[in-house]
Amino acid sequence: MRRTLLAALLTSCTLACTPTDLSTSNTPSCQAEVPSATTANSAGFTIHAPQPPGWSTQPVEGGGLVLHRFETIEGADPPFGTATVTVATFSPADTADAAANTLRILRPHESDWHRTRSEEVQICGNPAHLTSGTTTNAHHDYLEFAYPLGDKFYPVQITTQTPIANVPRYRSDLDMILSGVRISVQ
Residue 174 clears pLDDT 80, i.e. is over it: yes
Q: Which helix (H) or strand (E) holds 83?
A: strand 80-89
Condensed to tens digits (0 to 9), the pLDDT of residues 17-72 reads 333 332 344 567 777 777 889 999 989 999 999 999 999 999 988 789 999 999 98
Q: 114, 125 in Cβ contact below 8 A? A: no
pLDDT for 26 equals 57
Whether residue 173 is predicted with pLDDT greater than 50 in this model: the reply is: yes
> Dihedrals φ, ψ of 98, to 5°?
-65, -40
* Percentage of the chain lying above the pLDDT 70 cut: 84
Residues 6 or more apart in contact with residue 183 via CB below 8 angstroms? 28, 29, 30, 45, 46, 47, 48, 123, 124, 126, 147
CA distance 51 to 68: 9
Q: How far apart are CA 37 and CA 58, in angstroms?
A: 9
CA distances 34 to 51, 85, 98, 169, Å, are 8, 17, 32, 21
pLDDT of residue 89: 94
Record the pTM.
0.80
Please say if the pLDDT value at position 1 is more than 60.
Answer: no
> What domains can be seen in the chain, in order of their start residue?
26-185 (3.40.1000.10)
For 113-149, the pLDDT digits (tens) are: 888 999 999 998 889 999 999 998 899 999 999 999 9
Q: What pLDDT is attached to residue 16?
A: 33
pLDDT band at 6 (very low <50, low <70, confident <90, very high): very low
Q: Is the pLDDT of residue 94 over 90?
A: yes
Q: What is the pLDDT of residue 158?
A: 96
- The more confidently predicted of residues 68 and 10 is 68
Between 68 and 3, the higher pLDDT residue? 68
| Range 153-167 burial, b when 16+ CB lie within 10 A, else e | bbbbbbbbbbbeebe
